[in-house]
Amino acid sequence: MQVYYFTELPYHEYDDEDGKKYPSLRLTFPNTYFDQHKAVGLFHRYLDEYQYCEEMGFDGLMINEHHNTPSCMNATMNLTGAILARNTRNAKILLLGNVLPIWDNPIRLAEEIAMLDTISNGRIISGFVRGTGVESVSTNTNPVHNRERFEEAHDLIIKTWTTPGPFRWEGKHYNFRVVNPWMKPIQEPHPPIWVPGTASPETAQWAARHGYTYVAFLTPINMTKELFRIYREAADEAGQTVTENNFGYLICCYVADNEAKAQEEAKHFIWRMGETTRGPREYFAPPGYRSRTASQMAARRRTSESKPLGQQNIEELQANYHVVAGTPDTVLKKLKYLKDEINMGHLIFYGQESRMSHDATMRSIELFGKEVMPAIREW
Amino acid sequence: MPASFSEETVSVAGIDVHYYRGGDGPPLLTLHGGGGNPGWLMAHEALAAHYTVYAPSHPGFGITPRPEWIARPSDMAVFYLWMLQEMDLDQVHLMGHSFGGWLAADIATTCPQVVNRLVLVDAVGVKPERSEILDVFILTPEQIRANAFYNKPEQIPEWERLYGGEPTPEATERAEDALEMMIRLCWKPYMHDLRLPALLPRVTSPALVVWGREDAIVPLECGEIYRQGLPRSQLHVIEECGHSPQIEKPNAFADVVLSFLGQA
């Protein structure tokens, strides 16, 4: 199993009481609560933590992107990717992922990712995502066209990477006279593609048909198994071979020298589960953003555990394996259980959240690297 | 209310368009707003005393299917022109509320000769300069409802029938479909077409612009823009009334419209 480090680069520097005055921390929470001078320090510590992960032997460094939210300062993930491409030497850089539907120029994305792949000398894993409704609204992209645009932008990017230019593209959502970017990715035929999922069966099926790695994000274990089953069925139909490398799983994890410290630090993940996902459905999944089937699946996700993710306390989050925390021994045992249950080939170690300090984050990375990683390597 | 109307369909562009029809006399086509077809209303009944009232469900709303090619309001305006052609209707009185008002204005500017008289009710479609059309796409259904009406439910005669009680799962799904269709058509630019003010002078028929004084969704300023743009138009503001005069003040509304159409 391979392990990737992840943080959302959170900005949890405002007063929580202020946040609660608004319907959501996303989309409409005023950016007057953002102090860019505080962000300077945050960016640098987060980047230091990524570099330390490489030292500790993590296989990859994952970054993502959100808009209009203090939960994620990565407003343009390819910029952060560029820094990592230059400042690291061996780790893969997992972009999970570029939000395809919200940009009107997929060729520009193809160029940026190709540059990253070239500067990093072939270390890019190029994830593609649909974004939440917030990404659609904040960029004023029609949510009804989200899936169509995702698929067309994907097709165009892949063609841009694999077909000699110049060529012409006349699609439904994108039209280009001369596709012929000078910059091409160094990996042939193109960087590996990963796709995350939380509820939509269509996403699992789409990833399966293309043979892309599918990463379940904080889904309950039973739902993860179901999504992986849906993936396997679609892959079978499409004649794609499936191994454990087709599956990834993201989990919040904290490793400490003792259980008490681990429990204390793990509480930082609660903000992410609840407060940052609070808000009206119109922000997160406007009508037309999801199919009826996906909406039903999302509703089941909310009811498949005794409480929705955002209302679970730290004990429940751990019992449901959304958060794993403890000494290296405890964490190893829990991760082994997860591995046995869902047999993923890739583990995303979501290692920092909210106001978890730099020192605490570094210690967890160190303990994971030195005492957990060697055993995981054998799985 | 007497069962003075029927439900029918007409085939247009390969789909069956559902509509309510009632009354007798010259044709009056009324186009519903973004929330979907509310059915046969008191206001329709009053108009049906003098006219044959047609109240269709737009493509993508209610049981009328959505043709893939309808991507913007002007496509739907062309669709309705096609429907008039299929039904052999000409010189219709054309009325539209909110989103339906935009469609009516678009139909009238595209093909002025098919319109006898035009009635726009709290219509979107033009961009206000001093204010904004409320962004209903990021509001909850409860917030939209709270902004839509000025009067209390007990003051609105058809409230109980239209909004009282728990909606059925089918009604919930229809409401969801309506909102999705509105997002499909009106996301960007939001609820307006920059061409429309420039084209309004094409409309040579008399036009009535009706507005609820307290409309919290579409500012009265939009009514003034329509009044200024339509050469033979008048603006009638209904006091103590929100976004839907035909539901909030059905009698006053019907009186104004009938008077304009020459029936007072």
ipTM of the complex as predicted: 0.93
Backbone angles phi, psi at B11, to 5 degrees: -85, 120
Split at pLDDT 50, 70, 90, the class of B16 is very high
Q: What's the confidence (pLDDT) of residue A296?
A: 74
**Distance between CA atoms of residues A19 and A30, nearest Å:** 9
**Distance between CA atoms of residues A60 and A88, nearest Å:** 10
B168 touches chain A (CB under 8 A): no
Sheet holding B115-121, edge to edge: B5-12, B15-22, B52-56, B27-31, B92-97, B115-121, B207-212, B233-238
Are B73 and B61 within 8 A, CB to CB? no
Question: CA nearest A223: which of A305, A102, A311?
Answer: A305
With a pLDDT cut of 90, the percent of chain A lying above it is 93
Mutation test of the interface with chain B: which of A24, A282, A290, choosing the one with the most B Cβ atoms within 10 A?
A282
Token duo for residue B151: 């009067």
Q: What's the confidence (pLDDT) of residue A291?
A: 79
**What pTM did the predictor assign?**
0.95
Do A282 and B139 make contact, defined as CB atoms within 8 angstroms? yes
Do A144 and B138 make contact, defined as CB atoms within 8 angstroms? no
Instruction: Count how many domains chain B has.
Output: 1
Do A143 and B179 make contact, defined as CB atoms within 8 angstroms? no
Give the pLDDT confidence of A126-166 residue by residue, as tens digits.
999 999 999 999 999 999 999 999 999 999 999 999 999 99
B195 touches chain A (CB under 8 A): no
Tokens 């009638």 map to which residue? B236
Query: Under 8 Å CB-to-CB from A218, ≥6 apart: which residues?
Result: A198, A250, A251, A252, A273, A309, A322
Split at pLDDT 50, 70, 90, the class of B29 is very high
Are A63 and A10 within 8 A, CB to CB? no
How close are the terminal C-alpha atoms of chain A, in Å? 6
Q: Specify the CATH number for the domain of residue B209.
A: 3.40.50.1820
Judging contacts by C-beta atoms under 8 Å, the chain B residues touching residue A27 are 138
Report the chain B residue with the minimal C-alpha distance to residue A285: B138
**Distance between CA atoms of residues B86 and B114, nearest Å:** 13
Question: CA nearest A277: which of A374, A168, A134?
Answer: A134
Domain that holds residue B186: 5-260
**Distance between CA atoms of residues A328 and A259, nearest Å:** 10
Q: How far is residue B255 CA from its own chain's centroid?
A: 17
Give the pLDDT confidence of B216-228 residue by residue, as tens digits.
999 999 999 999 9
Question: According to the 3-state scheme, what is the secondary structure of chain A?
Answer: CEEEEEECCCCCCCCHHHHCCCCCCCCCCCHHHCCHHHHHHHHHHHHHHHHHHHHCCCCEEEECCCCCCCCCCCCCHHHHHHHHHHHCCCCEEEEEEEEHHHCCCHHHHHHHHHHHHHHCCCCEEEEEECCCHHHHHHCCCCHHHHHHHHHHHHHHHHHHHHCCCCEEEECCCCEEEEECCCCCCCCCCCCCEEEEECCCHHHHHHHHHHCCEEEEECCCHHHHHHHHHHHHHHHHHHCCCCCHHHEEEEEEEEECCCHHHHHHHHCCHHHHHCHHHCCCHHHHCCCCCCCHHHHHHHHHHHHCCCCCHHHCCHHHHHHCCCEEEECHHHHHHHHHHHHHHHCCCEEEEEEECCCCCHHHHHHHHHHHHHHHHHHHHCC
Q: What's the confidence (pLDDT) of residue A292?
A: 75
Are B208 and B122 within 8 A, CB to CB? no
Q: Specify the CATH number for the domain of residue A359.
A: 3.20.20.30
- Cβ-nearest to B183 among A28, A142, A280: A142
**Distance between CA atoms of residues A350 and A62, nearest Å:** 9
Q: Is B125 exposed, middle or buried (0-12, 13-18, 19+ CB in 10 A)?
A: buried
Question: According to the 3-state scheme, what is the secondary structure of chain B?
Answer: CCCCEEEEEEEECCEEEEEEEECCCCEEEEECCCCCCCCCCHHHHHHHCCCEEEEECCCCCCCCCCCCCCCCHHHHHHHHHHHHHHCCCCCEEEEEECHHHHHHHHHHHHCHHHEEEEEEECCCECCCCCCCCCCHHHCCHHHHHHHHCCCCHHHCCCHHHHHCCCCCHHHHHHHHHHHHHHHHHHCCCCCECCCHHHHHHHCCCCEEEEEECCCCCCCHHHHHHHHHHCCCEEEEEECCCCCCHHHHCHHHHHHHHHHHCCCC
Q: Is it the case that residue B209 has pLDDT exceeding 90?
A: yes
Query: Under 8 Å CB-to-CB from B192, ≥6 apart: which residues?
Result: B124, B125, B126, B127, B133
Do B140 and A282 make contact, defined as CB atoms within 8 angstroms? yes
Do A140 and B188 make contact, defined as CB atoms within 8 angstroms? yes
Tokens 């047999």 map to which residue? A343
Token duo for residue B97: 């509320």
Give the pLDDT confidence of A80-128 residue by residue, as tens digits.
999 999 999 999 999 999 999 999 999 999 999 999 999 999 999 999 9
With a pLDDT cut of 70, the percent of chain A lying above it is 99
Q: What's the confidence (pLDDT) of residue A308?
A: 87
Token duo for residue B212: 């609820």
Give just the sign of the alpha carbon dihedral A171, A176, A182, A183: negative
Tokens 């409320």 map to which residue? B134
Are B20 and B5 within 8 A, CB to CB? yes
Tokens 């900005």 map to which residue? A11
- In 10 A of CB A338, how many CB atoms? 17
**Weakest-pLDDT range from A37-41, A101-105, A200-204, B128-132:** A200-204
Q: Is it the case that residue B206 has pLDDT exceeding 90?
A: yes
Q: What's the confidence (pLDDT) of residue A210?
A: 98
Q: Is it the case that residue B60 has pLDDT exceeding 90?
A: yes
What's the Cα-to-Cα distance from A289 to each of A194, A230, B4, B176, rounded to whole Å?
21, 21, 40, 12
**Weakest-pLDDT range from A199-203, A364-368, B43-47, B257-261:** A199-203
Q: Is it the case that residue B215 has pLDDT exceeding 50?
A: yes
Q: Is it the case that residue A365 has pLDDT exceeding 60?
A: yes
Residues on chain A bordering chain B, Cβ-to-Cβ distance under 8 angstroms: 27-28, 137, 140, 142-144, 280-283, 286-288
What does the buried/exposed string (b/e) look like for B193-222 if buried means 16 or more CB atoms within 10 Å of the residue's CB? beebbebbeebebbbbbbbbebbebbbbbb
Give the pLDDT confidence of A286-339 residue by residue, as tens digits.
988 887 777 777 777 666 677 888 899 999 999 999 999 999 999 999 999 999
**Distance between CA atoms of residues B65 and A311, nearest Å:** 40
Report the chain B residue with the minimal C-alpha distance to residue A279: B140
Q: Is it the case that residue B3 has pLDDT exceeding 90?
A: no
Do B184 and A142 make contact, defined as CB atoms within 8 angstroms? yes
Work out whether strand B115-121 and strand B207-212 pair parallel, antiparallel, or are unpaired: parallel
Q: What's the confidence (pLDDT) of residue B1?
A: 47
- In 10 A of CB A237, how many CB atoms? 11
Mean pLDDT of A62-80: 97
B132 touches chain A (CB under 8 A): no
Instruction: Count how many domains chain A has.
Output: 1
Q: Is it the case that residue B2 has pLDDT exceeding 60?
A: no
Domain that holds residue A239: 2-377
Q: Is it the case that residue B264 has pLDDT exceeding 70?
A: no
Mean pLDDT of B204-219: 98
Q: What's the confidence (pLDDT) of residue A52?
A: 98
